[in-house]
Amino acid sequence: MVTFSQQSSGKFLSTYRSDKWWFEPLWTGLGFLSFVAYTTWAMFQGDYYWWSGGQEGFGGYLSPFYSPLLFIKEAVVGSAPMDHSWFGSWPGWWPVLIPASPAILILAGPLSFRMTCYYYRKFYYRAYFMSPPACAVSGISQKNYKGETALLVFQNLHRYTLYIALGFVVILSYDGFLSLFRGGEFGIGIGSIILIINPILLAGYTFGCHAFRHLTGGNQDCFTCPNGKPTFRHMVWRGVSWLNSRHILWAWISMLWVAFADFYVRMVSSGRWIDINTWGF
């Protein structure tokens, strides 16, 4: 006779589920890992992040991983002209052991936004922390589980990373605009399209953020006070809620696209791919 025991007392990964419950944590886990691997690699390169077909003046393609350019190291292949730097040339005190890459200075911003995002938290708690690995599948049983009340209490600061991300939406939109010019001349190329789609996807992700939803109207108890008419905030909240209900989709597309945009600029800048455009170079 098999004695029945409460499954919740079960060992790690024990479940009565007979379907492929491991599939979702597996693909999300591996998918995100490949993104992190590519981003880390691209971040350490420090070169081929800019392309303007050798033209001076306003315009060019800038990899979103490298924007904004706080400092620029001169005489690096595929680097941007110095007038694109916010604070001038590369600081002399920079440790030799760390590559002089402008991406290193800024990537923590968008990364902190994604890592504290309510959706990313769901997926990595499941895929990496196995807490739980899937629904009705036992995770690692902790004697004193604390959820997000102890070590993870910093997740409550997600809204601050949202403020940073909003800044990035503005900056990357400017980069999209910049990509429509080459040597001061207006035009369009495949790269411009890629770099314009990028901030749109990022905005779709950012404006659907739960913290943003709270800020726009979620913190209100009444949407029709004081005069019984729906307020402007209610309208904005509804728009944000629409994006929010598709947040997972925006999260993945915007993440893949930003990596693709970097890859595209890298390929064109290093001469491996030819950018089709109206400027003819």
Interface positions with ligand FES (CB under 6 A): 117-119, 158, 162, 209-211, 247
CB of 70 to another protein, least distance (A): 24
Residues 233-262 as x/- pattern, contact with another protein by CB under 8 A: -x---------xx-x---------------
CB of 61 to another protein, least distance (A): 36
**Sole window of 15-23, 36-44, 83-91, 183-191 interacting with another protein (rule: CB under 8 A):** 15-23
How many angstroms separate the CA atoms of 65 and 188, rounded? 21
How many angstroms separate the CA atoms of 89 and 274, rounded? 29
270 binds another protein (CB under 8 A): no
Pairing of strands 61-62, 50-51: antiparallel
How many Cα atoms sit within 13 Å of 257 on the Cβ side? 21
How many Cα atoms sit within 13 Å of 91 on the Cβ side? 10
CB of 40 to another protein, least distance (A): 26
1 binds another protein (CB under 8 A): yes
How many angstroms separate the CA atoms of 39 and 257, rounded? 12
Q: Which is nearer to another protein, 90 or 205 (CB)?
A: 205
CA-CA-CA-CA torsion sign (40, 41, 43, 49) = negative
Residues 116-135 as x/- pattern, contact with another protein by CB under 8 A: --x--xx--xx----xx--x
Among ligand FES, another protein, none, what binds residue 233 when CB lies within 5 to 8 Å by partner kind?
A: none
Q: Which is nearer to ligand FES, 158 or 182 (CB)?
A: 158
SS3 89: strand
CB of 149 to ligand FES, least distance (A): 19
CB of 219 to ligand FES, least distance (A): 15
Confirm if 256 and 35 have CB atoms less than 8 A apart. yes
Read off the amino acid at residue 58. Answer: F
271 binds another protein (CB under 8 A): no
Q: What is the token pair recorded at 64?
A: 């979103």
SS3 137: strand
Q: What is the token pair recorded at 10?
A: 């079960």
Peptide bond preceding 25: is omega within 30 degrees of 0, i.e. cis? no
CB of 100 to ligand FES, least distance (A): 31
Interacting residues toward another protein by CB under 8 A: 1-4, 6-8, 15-19, 118, 121-122, 125-126, 131-132, 135-136, 138-139, 141-142, 145-149, 152-153, 156-159, 210-211, 213-214, 218-225, 228, 230, 234, 244-245, 247
